[in-house]
Chains A and B, each alone.
Chain A
Amino acid sequence: MTEFEIASSLEEALALVAEGYRPIAGGTDLVVAARTGRAPLPGRLVSIERLDELSGIEPTTEGLLIGAVVTHARLMRTQSVIDDFTALADASALVGSPSTRNVGTIGGNVMNASPAMDTGAPLVVLNAEIVLRSTRGERRVAAADFWAGPGRTVAEPDELCVALAIPNQPDGSASAYVRLEYRRAMEIAVVGAAARVDLDGRGRIIGASVALTAVAPTIVAVDGATEVLAGRSLDPATLTDIADAASRKATPISDLRASDTYRRHCVGVMARRAVEAAFGRATGDPIAVPVNRSTGIGAAR
């Protein structure tokens, strides 16, 4: 029989996690995995979804601090996320269905460490850090370094993800996340890509970052995105180059959802479209969240 505690403070939660309790928030991964026999429910659970300390979306001088139990539904509707960290809003709006977005949390998504997680690639291109805390103290790990493999992170067993810290993005920067999906709801990314482009005052690309979903054991960043894009206009040759760079970076598997060949091709398409959408946003094109719905990526509008 399960031991279950509702944490009334972060300190209590950390103490229980140190004792071996597993944190639970939305339950969309843990409870469902147990009910369908994929993995038994952990014997000791601590419910953390009500902790005020983990529920905030707070602007700081460095950027935005998003509490670990902030839900996808809240992220996709938060104006500062939509305005400044748009790729994360795109991704949040694509997770599952309205009901799963209401309970699924950003912290849960990050700690579950699925290579197909939608929020991972946006966090990488936005240079986010995962804020981990334990009774021993707090540390931050760059999103790019956080995932160790499918279902695995670099967090220690006693560490709780308490927040995501996303730095302020430079002026002239914008981001987008797109994914390949076979239907328009209750879907997992077949592949996906997030892009951030930074423009100078004259609208030229001076920096870029592209990260990929579901084409490797973890979310991966495309090497040298800035080198591919900086100083160039987004003509077909440029877009082909970024698509090729993404496809080269991909080391996908073949599974039920897609073959490795198709994934490799499509992640290039997604990377190109993410760059186009990010660039469009950076130049004032009001591409609504999520890009998949507003421009019909992955399926017609």
Chain B
Amino acid sequence: MAIAAESIDRRPRLVRADGPEKVTGTALYTADLRMTGMLAAKFLFAEVAHARITRLDVSGARLVPGVFAVLTAADLPDVRYSAGVADRTLFARDVVRFEGEVVAAVAAVTDEAARRAIDAIIVDYEPLAIVDDPEAARADDAPLVHPHWADYESDPSLVRHGNVAAFSSIARGDVDAGMAQADVVVAGRYVADGSHAAPIEPRAVVARWEGEKVTIWTSSQVPFAARDGVCETLRLPTNRVRVIVPHLGGGFGGKCGFHFEPHVAALARAARRPVKLVFTRREEFIAPDRRRESMIIEITTGVNNDGTIVARRGHVILDNGAYIADAAFFPQLAAMHVAGPYVIPNIEISAELVYTNHQPSGSVRAPTAPQTTWARESHTDEVAAAVGLDPVEFRLLNAVDTAKIGPTGQTYDEIGLIECIRRAADSAGWGRPLPDDEAIGVAIGWWPSFPVASGAYVKLDSDGAGQIITGAQECGTGAVMTLRRLAADELGMQPDDFQIVGQDTAVAPYDVGATGSQTLFNNGRAVVAAAGQVAEQLRNLAADRLEASAADIVLDSGVAHVAGTPDRNVSIIELAAIAARGELLIGHGSGQPPATPEISGTTCVGDQGMAAWVAPQFSCHAVRVKLDRDTGVVRVLEVDAVHDSGTIINHLGAVGQVEGGVMMGVGQALSEGTVYGDGRQRNAALLEYKLQTAADSPTVRTQFVEIATEGAGPRGAKGLAEAPNVATAGAVANAIARLTGERLRRLPMTPERVWEVMG
């Protein structure tokens, strides 16, 4: 196994190119933009979970001094949209289905005037039955969130009925026979509350029209998707909509998809002025259609006395909220996590994405994974206990490994999960004596890499300075910053020789955005290809100059030299000056995404292509916690996080991803959960929705099991940004259970819930 142990200090660090402006306060984020004549936008939200609009009168708003535009559904094209199921409109039409639904929008000279205009809108509602419980919503006689669901245009691969927006299942082998043959059968039901991405920057959008063209600055992780959404809903061609993302203050999936760009663009068009929308923190909590869904997870596992897993049956109910957003593939993804990175010959797992009158769910960092993994890894410890095996031993026995066949029939090439488990257990001191109120828990996780199309240009200008023009979106992870190292290495230059240009749909080629941990995986390939074209140009120029064959030219340390005779060289700066008078140094690349592996013997209903994974990532987290037995308060003291994400190209950045993901996982484990009342969020504020603070932060030790993975991203890199968020909550749960004896099957594991389970 090609494993290289890495210490954090071993490699030269890649300091962020956007760092100096970020530490000096000069980096501009969307809310920082100001333009001549710019107006402030404000929305009227439903503020009720489910109701019919019986009266909507905006005439009062138009009379408020300083108001330039007031919009409702009546003012825009009647377009129903969304990936998978076209179940949504920009503004509510007739019915509001969650509290954050936009009913009207205004643009006015000041925030205060906009607020007064919103207050002057009269809206009357006739209450409708609130669909609050996704489990009950599946009943035949349950009130429907979308009575006309069958009339919506939808992806034909989706299986849906009534409040079930999407159903998927994965089956392989014979589960009934497997269960009958198993020595022990263990069943568990686990319930996870919803949670939020909660980036520190609330979203903001600025739109400005020039003639028939609109430029939109937005805090989006996915500028091309935002553009396409604007084009679809406002009926514009893509070349008349330009989306630019200034510095982006975090996303974590919460800023994927398109959200409010078309509303602001429509306001700006109506007002004939630039318009800026900035969300308050409360609006950031209630309005976006990206939050982590609540879930009910049922798992039954048959296991032999020797500890081998024979069969697993599972069922997941996902609270979709009022609209499908990008969640159509979540059921199958959740099913994959209920299966988990274990060798299980017989599985049958189904999942239902169910409409409710809650905020729509959508991609939040490793969607579906933290909750399902928390449940599955809790269950795994219970299964291990049922056959008297140590949790680490049990995982080593059953985990997928190189050349083994996974639960959906995928055979794995070289993977490092077993090594992840060993290292995490070793580093955490698994088995060592601890004080009475401390324990260590372990959990493992997996996550796919997503192969998609992605493009970049690379150019060197006359002075030899490089630019990478990329469609990729930097949301803070540093993935885009890391592209500089790839280009530099292709060209024998230094990362500092390159600047990044992008986050502008009119300038850069397409990329799907900061989503699916895909930036380095896909855009890295594009940059390598683009830089490779420039390298070829440089080699040809150098060959002429040095009277050698282009094939013999080596690019290294800023010069081109003839292989074997470093003295015969010419600097890249000089070559760039030559090129500036003739054929310019410009490369473009996208490259072919790797193919999805074949799987055998698996049948899927409602297949969304999630049963086989390209370049899967693996992890094991070991967490030491301390429990206050009198109050149920748990504190995470130490975390060992070991990850197989293939080759690590930016070590410092990778450690930052793991530490951030772990901390988000600790929050999900202990304190982050949405509380609903009457279908509305009761804790839509940072005091009551508790992110972990620096004072709560544990010591995190990160290790990477580096395997240059075939068929993955550049140099064998897999994705990384989401994987660290997968296993932590499960590990915390297993540590808590060792202390409480009785297992808590609710997430988050708040002090009161822990106290209750202790009796």
Contacts and interface: CB of A to CB of B under 8 A. Distances in A.
Asked whether A and B interact, the reply is yes
A184 B631 contact: no
Nearest to A273: B630
Contacts of A301: 626
A183 interface: yes
Interface string B693-736: 11110000000000000000000000000000000000000000
A194 to B, nearest CB: 17
B154 to A, nearest CB: 37
A183 B696 contact: yes
Contact of B626 (A181, A265, A300): A300
Interface residues of A, number: 25
B752 A259 contact: yes
B687 A185 contact: no
A262 B752 contact: yes
B755 A182 contact: no
A185 B628 contact: no
Contacts of A300: 437, 626-628, 633, 635, 637
B199 interface: no
A181 B628 CA distance: 12
B307 to A, nearest CB: 33
A182 B635 contact: no
Contacts of A184: 693, 695-696
A258 interface: yes
A97 B282 CA distance: 21
B688 interface: yes
B630 A269 contact: yes
B675 interface: yes
A257 B694 contact: no
B628 A182 contact: no
A266 interface: yes
A180 interface: yes
A188 interface: yes
A186 interface: yes
Contact of A299 (B630, B635, B686, B752): B635
A298 B633 contact: yes
A203 interface: no
B755 A262 contact: yes
A197 B352 CA distance: 59
B515 to A, nearest CB: 29
A273 to B, nearest CB: 8
B188 interface: no
A298 B695 contact: no
Contact of B693 (A36, A186, A265): A186
B692 interface: yes
A237 interface: no
B538 to A, nearest CB: 53
A182 B695 contact: no
Contacts of A185: 693-696
Interface in A246-301: 256-259, 262, 265-266, 269, 296-301
Interface string B609-652: 00000000000000000111011010101000000000000000
A250 to B, nearest CB: 15
A76 B739 CA distance: 35
Nearest to A180: B631
Given A256-B683, A257-B688, A182 B750 contact: yes
Nearest to B691: A183
A266 B631 contact: yes
B682 interface: yes
Interface in B642-693: 670-671, 675, 682-683, 685-688, 690, 692-693
B693 A183 contact: yes
A2 B55 CA distance: 35
Contact of A298 (B631, B671, B685, B692): B631
A188 B687 CA distance: 8
A298 B628 contact: yes
Contacts of A186: 686-687, 693
A180 B633 contact: yes
A183 B750 CA distance: 11
B751 interface: yes
Given A256-B682, A262-B752, A300-B637, A183 B692 contact: yes
A185 B695 CA distance: 6
A265 B632 CA distance: 11
19 contacts: A36-B282, A97-B693, A180-B633, A182-B633, A182-B671, A182-B750, A184-B695, A186-B686, A188-B687, A256-B683, A258-B752, A262-B755, A265-B755, A269-B631, A296-B626, A296-B628, A298-B628, A298-B633, A299-B635
Interface of A: 36, 97, 180-188, 256-259, 262, 265-266, 269, 296-301
Given A266-B631, A300-B627, 6 more contacts: A36-B282, A36-B685, A182-B633, A185-B693, A259-B752, A299-B635
The 9 A-B pairs at the shortest CB distance, nearest first, are namely A300-B626, A184-B695, A300-B635, A185-B693, A185-B695, A269-B630, A262-B752, A299-B635, A299-B633
